[in-house]
Amino acid sequence: MMPFLWNTVAKQGQLYGNRNKGSIAQVTNGYKFSYPGYNEMSTGYPDSRINSNEFGPNPNATVFEWLNKREGFQDQVAVFGTWNTFYDIFRVKQSGLIIHAGWNLPWERNLTAAEQRLKKLYETTTQIEDDDTFDSFTHQDLLDYLANRTPRALFVGYGGTDDWAHEGKYDLVLQAAHQDDEHIAELWNTMQANPAYHDKVTFIITCDHGRGSGLKLWRDHDKNIDGAENIWIAVIGPDTPATGEIANGPRVTQSQIAATIAALLGQDYPKDVPQAAPPLPIATWSAASATK
């Protein structure tokens, strides 16, 4: 179902979260749904105030906003996602981040022929959800962006598996997971083919929450559903040893992702944001040794 994850990431990187092997990866926000999860992973800490997907603008600056304001990163940090709420999560009005989310994108005036066709699809496609576009649309928009730009930090949020799970369409959950695996593989290969990224880029692949189990609860996730706190985290890149699935390792949390992103870029996020969790326990940190 996910050949890139298992044939490439699992062989060349690390996977956390297989409880059958004694590897525990969890959210710590207690709510176990999207906005609290994205806040936790991108800021490095949970915020109990964020108790709704309709919460509004995030009171917290994310690690992407923090990077965007550091020397050498300005205008080199971007966010692409299917969900319109990413504009609130990443504070579009305050952060200065390049954000493409949902159906209403910030189209430029001079578009290539391919971008014009994509814009037409965005404008003429029937919307199943008015705040959540299709993974394939966001992915193509991202590839168009990368054709001419080389951001130093990039967030990508696909949402198809969650959408179809809430609809109870298990066959489409599997199809969406397979297609997103293809998207991630294409993104990896596209960036590896670019000299600016070749053998220099790291991917952290994860989810904003887990799900319930059984015949019905697999569709949902919230604070009352056991197991929805369990997630998985995959890492592949030049600073990550190829140890594959972690067995009997320390418990890791979603909150560790923010500091990990910064450390891989040679930056010490917890120094400025002490409430943030430390980076993931990747066995070697050649990137972190350059922290300044």
Number of domains in the chain: 1
Residues 201-252 pLDDT 10s? 999 999 999 999 999 999 999 999 999 999 999 999 999 999 999 999 999 9
Confidence of residue 268 (pLDDT cuts 50, 70, 90): very high
State residue 121's pLDDT score: 98
Q: Reply yes or no on whether the pLDDT at 286 is more than 70.
A: no
Confidence of residue 166 (pLDDT cuts 50, 70, 90): very high
Residues 140-150 pLDDT 10s? 999 999 999 99
Confidence of residue 282 (pLDDT cuts 50, 70, 90): confident
State residue 73's pLDDT score: 98
**Using an 8 Å Cβ cutoff, are 222 and 33 in contact?**
yes
State residue 29's pLDDT score: 98
The Cα–Cα gap between 232 and 67 comes to: 25
- Structural domain boundaries enclosing 94: 3-290
Residue 235 bridge partners (DSSP): 14, 204
The Cα–Cα gap between 28 and 12 comes to: 28
Residue 68's CATH number: 3.40.720.10
127 versus 282: the higher-pLDDT residue is: 127
State residue 292's pLDDT score: 33
State residue 58's pLDDT score: 98
Residues 4-50 pLDDT 10s? 999 999 999 999 999 999 999 999 999 999 999 999 999 999 999 99
State residue 285's pLDDT score: 40
Confidence of residue 83 (pLDDT cuts 50, 70, 90): very high
Tell me the percentage of the chain whose pLDDT exceeds 70: 97
The Cα–Cα gap between 92 and 59 comes to: 12
Residues 114-141 pLDDT 10s? 999 999 999 999 999 999 999 999 999 9
What's the whole-number average pLDDT of the chain? 95
Alpha helices in the chain (DSSP H): 3-4, 10-12, 34-43, 63-68, 86-89, 92-95, 113-124, 135-146, 160-166, 170-192, 214-217, 257-264, 269-272
Q: Reply yes or no on whether the pLDDT at 288 is more than 50.
A: no
